[in-house]
A and B are shown apart, each in its own frame.
Chain A
């Protein structure tokens, strides 16, 4: 069975500080992709970053980086230098390569404090 777990319902971070959002996953597929999406209050899901299960290096996209620990089945998102506009819900997702379905976690609500 495929499962994504995000254990932090809500997080607070001071502006300009870094924050880590946790994500663990469970899959029996040897090949899969891991994703993070941001959902502001407007509702639209915004793609942030992708990590392939066979990628040797952690993915980075600007202020976003994905701390991928395959043995522990974790794919934490690190946001550096937080900005007020980073306040949103953040979803971790996984797509096994044997299927076309995305599996989403329950999300973490991030609030950036000025």
Chain B
């Protein structure tokens, strides 16, 4: 069974631009969560989607948004990029919302210049 895939793996953007990251969960998994990982703040929860609905949201500004499609694939969008948005963005899937284990993808490394 294929794991969680994230595209693109690496991305370079300039301040003020917007970016869309994609995540395909493990087949059969309906919950997708997004995390931002930076050296200074560590791993921080962005949001979780289940059955196309956002179930939970972390403490991030409204520039960070997401959605989930009927096939459980999820996208995360960041508008008006700031230098501080440079990070590794990790997506994790699990069979159900609140399921015990989350399986992570390889991440998308975003650099904002």
CA distance in complex: A101, B90 (Å): 14
Q: B21: CB under 8 A from chain A?
A: no
- Size category of the B interface is 20 to 34
Interface majority SS (helix, strand, loop, mixed), chain B: strand
Stretch from A14-22, A40-48, A66-74 at the B interface:
A40-48
| A residues in contact with B106, CB < 8 Å | 42-44
- Size category of the A interface is 20 to 34
CA distance in complex: A102, B37 (Å): 13
**B56 pairs with A50, CB closer than 8 A:** no
| A residues in contact with B88, CB < 8 Å | 43
CA distance in complex: A61, B45 (Å): 26
Do A104 and B43 form a contact, CB below 8 Å, given A45-B92, A50-B100? yes
